[in-house]
Amino acid sequence: MSSKSCTVEKEANILNEFCLDTTAHGFQHVTRGKHISYRIMWGLILVAVFGGSGYHLYELISSYLRYNYYTSITVDAETLKVSF
């Protein structure tokens, strides 16, 4: 066995262990699914969820960095009764 295939196998085992042991929902379904269609479905769901989360995070950060703020202050001197 070459060192490259050994490294790939080791990485696959680490990824498989992560998917089985993580508390994040969905990963274990990708590795433990009995049918390939079940695994593909869960893989697509995970990709869609992470894609949506990434898009939402991008929108939030870009909205924050635009510094869109509007302030309007109106002072009516007649209704402002201050006694000294």
| Distances from the Cα of 81 to the Cα of 22, 75, 76, 78, 84, angstroms | 63, 12, 10, 7, 10
Residues 15-32 have a mean pLDDT of 76
Within-domain flag for 39: yes
Within-domain flag for 33: yes
pLDDT at 17: 79
Task: Work out the pLDDT band at 56, boundaries 50, 70, 90.
Answer: very high
Within-domain flag for 79: no
Domain count, the chain: 1
Within-domain flag for 82: no
pLDDT at 31: 77
Mean pLDDT of the residues in the chain: 81
Task: Work out the pLDDT band at 6, boundaries 50, 70, 90.
Answer: confident
Within-domain flag for 57: yes
Within-domain flag for 84: no
Domain that holds residue 32: 3-65
Within-domain flag for 18: yes
